[in-house]
Chain A
Amino acid sequence: MVGDSAATDLDPDAAQAAIEHCYHQGWSDGLPLVPATRELVDRFLAETDRSPDEVIGRMDNLGRTCTVELAAVNAAMAGCLPAYFPVVLAAWEAVMRDRAAKGGAWQSTSGPAPLIIVNGPVREELGFNSSGGAFGPGFRPNATVPRAIGLIVRNAFGIRPHELDQATQGLPGRFAMCFGENEEESPWEPLSVEMGLFDGQSAVSATLVRTCEFVDNRHTQDPEQVLFDFADTIVRTGSLIFADQSCFVVFGPEHAQLLAGAGYSKNDVKDWLIAHCVRSEADLRRVGKDAVAEGGLGGRGPSAEERVSQDTLSRVVSTREQIPIAVTGARNAAMSLVCRVFGTWSNSSCPVERRRRNGTGGT
């Protein structure tokens, strides 16, 4: 194992030259890449039963495809261990289930980022962080799996900033957001189980998000007061651009346990938020977004304005599917994150399929 070699046996000059070569080729996202060799990539491919030639993503408008092997090259360059590769493949499938990912999201001025959630025993087996500081830094799988997704977009699809990637600002943490769900301290069923997979099945879920905002409420033990704090964050007008939006709520264990302790199931929380995440016509008109309720941008025309009274309330989210919930982080403070979904969350989870050894099924 390279990782076990004494430092004196290594050749830092050769490593530096190889890293610079990768930069020079335009393959890097800005950080150093691990130079991928045939031998290394073959170790990735040995972790899956899927054929190296299988096409797992295509951008017909760009004439580009991604194969299992290309994904392996990019995952290796991202710094993944070979054992992570089945998780990368599941994460890629989960990301590409997002309709927007096939329809221009990577080229969008919005510059959305994948939010990747890992469930099941693979978290512990591979060392995904599900507790304190789950959004990073410091944990190799959390950092390198989303980076692999970003490198696939850049290299296999050929979508690079200032060229086909037209992100206005992008967002902090783009291609760096991946956490394990803290199933051990969540009072609710894991996200992947809610999505129909069996408990104990390793799985990845993903959606594209535009930003995340914290909800810090260590101020009350009243569940409804806490929920009102979430609702206030969810209904901000700055992020309201369409009538129907999805909002991913990533609860810290304390908030989740407080709500569950008061008798709230996940669906109870969702139903409460659907009912209370509303904006008045006056609020929307004040920021020029009064036509959002009808699915448009900009203000309503004068005739339409007369039809809608100032106290008309518009829902910000209208179905349970638009409010996915997961739990992560440490149970040491009542903090959570509200993540703005770019398009429509696929409402599904993808199983992690590891290589079947000796005829036995993987997890």
Chain B
Amino acid sequence: MGSSIMDPTGQTTRAEGALQPAIRPESLKGMTVGLLDNGKQNAGRFVEELGKVLVERYGVGRVVLRKKPVATVDAPAQLLDDLHHAAELVVIGVGDCGSCSAAAIADGIALERLGTPTAVVCTESFTATADAMAVIRGAAGYRHATVAHPMAGLPFEKVRARAEGVADEVASLLTGATVRRGAA
């Protein structure tokens, strides 16, 4: 028999350890929640409204808002470090395109590694790419919240309705209820 067939993939996936999700609080009461606007259209409005719902419904103490400079790639380490120090919990939104959904998941996992419980919100159309990125970052099964697609182009009332609709799921991702879910 002849020679073997070469592998064109290189198999050079980064060797990050399996994710240990950050320790979750029992409740959101009095907590400071960081809101990371990934810069997509309506993302800023969405995370701000979601923050308001979390204050109204769960007694969140206050929110701090940050904006990502480029939606399609990972947030700068400095920005994530800033969020890690400025907030006890973080919400990231909105993954509503191919690259920015994956990037939002990557940011969420990076914050978990820093020790900050994080909930990422993507539209329902991007579950596959979000999950694929979680595998790449050594966090297979990392859960995120989903809202109906699309987000861009929606009038304010519908953005608000999306925020109200997903708030419970986000709260559950951020609190003790999900401490061990997703961990291998």
Q: Give A contacts to B, CB under 8 Å.
A: 14, 18, 21-22, 25, 27, 35-39, 41, 60-67, 70, 73-74, 76-77, 103-105, 107-109, 151, 155-156, 158, 162-167, 296-298
The CA of A37 and the CA of B12, in the complex, are separated in Å by: 20
The CA of A14 and the CA of B3, in the complex, are separated in Å by: 12
Mark B13-55 against chain A: 1 for CB-CB distance below 8 A, else 0.
1101000000000000000000000000100000000000000
Interface members, chain B 56-71 (any A CB < 8 Å): 70
Question: Which of chain B's residues have a CB closer than 8 A to the CB of A298?
Answer: 41, 152-153
A184 smallest CB distance to B (angstroms) = 36
B27 smallest CB distance to A (angstroms) = 34
The CA of A165 and the CA of B152, in the complex, are separated in Å by: 20
A103 contacts B7, CB within 8 Å?
no
Known A-B contacts A37-B5, A297-B41; the reply to A166 vs B101 at CB < 8 A is yes
A80 smallest CB distance to B (angstroms) = 13
Question: Which of chain B's residues have a CB closer than 8 A to the CB of A158?
Answer: 9, 13, 136
Q: List 5 A-B contacts (CB under 8 A).
A: A22-B5, A61-B103, A64-B10, A64-B12, A103-B70
Extra contacts, 19 of them, besides A104-B98, A104-B100, A298-B152 (Cβ < 8 A), are: A25-B7, A36-B8, A37-B6, A38-B3, A63-B14, A64-B10, A64-B13, A70-B9, A73-B7, A76-B6, A104-B72, A104-B73, A104-B99, A107-B72, A155-B9, A167-B98, A297-B41, A297-B153, A298-B41
A21, A61, A166: the one within 8 Å of B74 (CB):
A61
The binding surface of chain B is classed by DSSP as loop
A297 contacts B126, CB within 8 Å?
no
B70, B98, B136: the one within 8 Å of A166 (CB):
B98
B132 contacts A18, CB within 8 Å?
no
B73 smallest CB distance to A (angstroms) = 6
B13, B99, B103, B152: the one within 8 Å of A297 (CB):
B152
List 6 tightest A-B contacts by C-beta distance, closest first.
A166-B98, A104-B99, A63-B14, A104-B72, A107-B99, A155-B8
